[in-house]
A and B are shown apart, each in its own frame.
Chain A
Amino acid sequence: MNRTLLSIRELSVRYSTPDGIVPAVNDFSLDLQAGECVGIVGESGAGKSQSFLAVMGLLPGNATVGGTATLGSESLLGCGIDALNRLRGARIAMIFQDPMTSLTPHMRVGEQIAESLVLHKGLSQTDAMARALDLLQQVQVTDARRRLHQYPHELSGGMRQRVMIAVALACDPEVLIADEPTTALDVTVQAQILSLLAELKRERRMGLVLVTHDLGVVAGVADRVLVMYGGRVVESGAVGEMLVSPRHPYTRALLRSMPRIDDDRTAPLTAIPGQPPSPAKLPSGCAFHPRCAGADAACRDQLPAMLEGRTRAACHHPEGAS
């Protein structure tokens, strides 16, 4: 039986900058079920991080957020800081993109994990530290008892990322948003952390959002995939369909640009021509049209609607349509 944990509807993020309004995210919707992992894929600047920072209420002051986001029956957007603070860290948590700078430099690792336990679960400092030790062991930090009393700068990048995961998992959240949790790490550590997240998701029936620009990462862990381009979702669907026969030309181009170990095809890797657009200067119509081989006049002029099918694709000429 499915249970929707996180529901995001028509989320938008706009930045007011000296150069005008920058639409970083448009019309972003997502339903996340218990025990499900949704991968969010797209090139740099596609709006992946902004979408979820918005949900967590973590955007800077010059950002305006529209749409709704609910966690169970609680609203996350515009609910007031106190209501939001009762949810974040307790029922919804986030692992950030940059583990090197995301921990407080002057606080011992253990304190940083214990903090939310004291706050949300009302544990005593001693109990919270004992729990922090458990958590460090759970995320496979070696020599956890000593690490507990170390400062972030004494840990390697991989260790810090694990600590970040422990911080996020401390209060046993229903929803975990992992924003590129493995980008800064080498391949072996990457695989360890991903399988750790997958295991936690299974064990705790947690909803997991995995943000990445690596389709290979998604293939291993995600149940569903959302592809973002220029601040919009351009295609979404089950991971099998998305990786084998995607309908949107951008998703197909992404796949072609990616090396695959399990694949012995001889076709060369092809990089996607051109640059991803800046949200400040989005192309008209379908934002992908300048880089799309099959683009025509309609693509230049009209924003494509989301078409149902094997996958949902926002394209005037999706693959598999006539």
Chain B
Amino acid sequence: MLRYALRRLLGVIPTLFAIITLSFFVIRIAPGGPFDDEQTLPPEIKANLEAAYGLDQPLHVQYGRYLAGLVRGDFGPSFKFKDFSVTELIAQGLPISLTLGLSAILVALLIGVPLGSLAALRQNRPTDHSIMAVAVLGIALPSFVVGPLLALTFGLHLRWLPVAGWESGQWRYLVLPVITLALPVIAYIARLTRGSLLEVLRSNFVRTARSKGLSERAILWRHALRPAMLPVVSYLGPATAFVITGSLVVETVFGLPGSGRYLVQGAINRDYTLVMGMIVVYGSVTLLFNLIADLLYGWLDPRVRYD
């Protein structure tokens, strides 16, 4: 198992390398450059600036330098936030973004799985219908609508939670963003769980378990739930990608100083190193979650282990 995990971890490196290479060149192909909108710059100063950042070099040289930096853990200087390195910028925002994203996925699992199971166990009864109706809403409503609605209700009217903003260490500021981000994931996981649990409950091995005289509860916990979790675990990879994109919106709506804004601003500013840094970090997070999902899958289903 450990060897398998290590092997898979090493397997991530080529994928990450491909992501980095592809992004590096695609970003450079896009029209415009980091110093284009500073119209007041005389051409010779602009040339000096570009030389200082190595932008006057041929592309493959820049690429080589960038990789060499990455290996040392150096993401390079930001072109726009001139006093900061990309590493510093990411280090500021990433902890908030990671907390937000991880909490959203955790909350989604902790709520989505029980909701979906409940719906499956009450199939075609009012509980089931209401859960699934809410789930459809949860998937359909975009977070830039849900977020402000939640902020209005729980922030402005009820005054239970802050409307927006951030004070470090204050979890209260994270509650509404996490809920907003988690809602569609909860809904999706609930639907996945319901469908797959219903299928498992009709399977031959559950019939065998029933023939032993086990209670429905024992059947659910010992026999049905683990195999029913397989599709949910497969969804963890895509869910991470979804939460990362979703967090860009949610951080903006709730004014959280996460790292999402750097991706957006970096892209607008053609801040090559900043965008690349974000891609490397988010790419690694996504790959890591896919890996965790694979390992969980192996734990849930012994048939896929050790190969």
Contact = CB atoms under 8 A, between A and B. Distances in A.
Interface of A: 56-58, 60, 81, 84-90, 93-94, 96, 98, 101-107, 115-116, 119-120, 151, 153, 164, 167-168
Contacts of A90: 213
Given A60-B202, A153-B302, A107 B212 contact: no
B211 A107 contact: no
Given A87-B213, A101-B204, A153-B302, 4 more contacts: A57-B210, A89-B211, A96-B204, A167-B208
B202 A107 contact: no
Given A119-B212, A153-B303, A167-B208, A106 B202 contact: no
A102 B227 CA distance: 14
A104 B211 contact: no
Contacts of A96: 204, 207-208, 211
Contacts of B207: 58, 96, 102
A151 B300 CA distance: 12
A172 to B, nearest CB: 14
B40 interface: no
A84 B303 CA distance: 33
Given A96-B204, A151-B303, A153-B303, A104 B223 contact: yes
23 contacts: A57-B210, A58-B211, A84-B213, A85-B214, A87-B213, A88-B210, A89-B213, A93-B212, A96-B207, A101-B205, A102-B207, A103-B205, A103-B208, A106-B227, A106-B301, A106-B302, A107-B223, A115-B214, A120-B213, A151-B302, A151-B303, A153-B302, A167-B208
Pick from B213, B222, B303 the residue with the most CB of A within 10 Å. B213
Interface residues of B, number: 23
B94 interface: no
Q: Which of B205, B216, B222, B223: most chain A Cβ within 10 A?
A: B205
Nearest to A82: B215
A94 B205 contact: no
Contacts of B153: none
Given A98-B204, A101-B203, A102-B205, A56 B211 contact: yes
Contact of B211 (A81, A93, A98, A120): A93
Nearest to A61: B123
Nearest to A108: B302
Nearest to A81: B216
B261 interface: no
Nearest to A111: B222
Nearest to A84: B213
For the complex of A and B, the 8 pairs showing the least CB-CB separation, nearest first, are A89-B213, A89-B212, A85-B213, A101-B204, A116-B212, A104-B205, A151-B302, A102-B204
A105 B204 contact: no
B211 A105 contact: no
A267 to B, nearest CB: 40
B80 interface: no
Given A96-B208, A105-B302, A88 B213 contact: yes
Given A96-B204, A96-B207, A98-B204, A105 B303 contact: yes
A241 B207 CA distance: 36
Looking at B209, B223, B301, the one whose CB has the most chain A CB atoms below 10 A away is B209
A96 B203 CA distance: 12
Nearest to B212: A89
B226 interface: yes
A182 B165 CA distance: 68
Nearest to A117: B212
A88 B223 contact: no
B194 to A, nearest CB: 16
Contacts of B208: 96, 102-104, 164, 167
A105 B301 contact: yes
A13 to B, nearest CB: 15
Contacts of A57: 210
B265 to A, nearest CB: 47
A87 B214 CA distance: 11
A119 B301 contact: no
Nearest to B214: A119
B129 to A, nearest CB: 16
A115 B212 contact: yes
B301 to A, nearest CB: 6
A107 B222 contact: yes
A115 B302 CA distance: 19
Interface string B196-235: 0000001111011111111110100011001100000000
Interface string B72-99: 0000000000000000000000000000
Contacts of A60: 202
A164 B209 CA distance: 11
Contacts of B218: 119
Interface centre among B202, B208, B302 (most CB of A within 10 A): B208
Nearest to B302: A151
B196 to A, nearest CB: 14
Interface in B263-307: 300-303
A293 B202 CA distance: 41
A104 B209 contact: yes
Contacts of A105: 205, 227, 301-303
Contacts of A153: 302-303
Contacts of A81: 216
Contacts of A88: 210-213
Contacts of B301: 105-106
A106 B203 CA distance: 14
A106 B213 contact: no
A216 to B, nearest CB: 26
B207 to A, nearest CB: 5
Contacts of B227: 104-106
